[in-house]
Amino acid sequence: MDIKGNAEVLFSKLENFFKTETVVGDPIRIDDITLVPFITVTFGCGTGGGEGNNSGKKDEGAGSGLGAGAKIVPNAVLVIKDEMVQMIPINNNRGNIDKLIELVPGIIEKFDKKRKAKKEKKENQE
């Protein structure tokens, strides 16, 4: 495949990758708390090709190549609880990470309650 063909294949596949859910993640619902992740996607690609030697030898000839890379970084989390809506940036600021960590015990407790309720429901059905 030539350079143009390689690039066309790459960019046609990228259409499926870059969509709204790539930047704004799927909401995560835990009882009355909804978490919506926001991320940054950085993408780069390069392509090259060569003609080789046309001396008629079997192992010589044209060639091409394509390389690509992506970096995905979480930027923030939108926290929705009842009537409260809060955007918590995720960066090197320790205070923001602490805010997220403060939410963890409540989230774990809700998971625990749901797990116990499912277990009790299953036991009651048996």
3-class secondary structure per residue, 7-68: HHHHHHHHHHHCCHHHHECCCEEECCEEEEEEEEEEEEEEEEEECCCCCCCCCCCCEEEEEE
Q: Where are the domains of the chain?
A: 3-125
Better-scored residue on pLDDT, 17 or 113: 113
DSSP state of 72: E
Higher pLDDT, 85 or 45: 85
Residue range 17-71, pLDDT digits in tens: 666 556 777 888 888 888 888 888 777 777 777 776 666 666 676 777 777 787 8
Question: What is the pLDDT at residue 53?
Answer: 67
Token pair in block for residue 5: 């063909």
Exposure of 117 in the CB half-sphere (CA atoms within 13 A): 7
Burial grade of 37 (CB within 10 A; 0-12, 13-18, 19 or more): middle
Q: Let me know: does 34 contact 103? Beta carbons within 8 Å.
A: no
The residue to which tokens 């690509």 are assigned: 68
Average pLDDT for 95-117: 72
Q: What is the pLDDT of residue 56?
A: 63
- The mean pLDDT value of the chain amounts to 76
For residues 44 and 90, give the distance between their C-alpha atoms in angstroms, rounded to a whole number. Answer: 24
What pTM, to 2 d.p., does this model score?
0.47
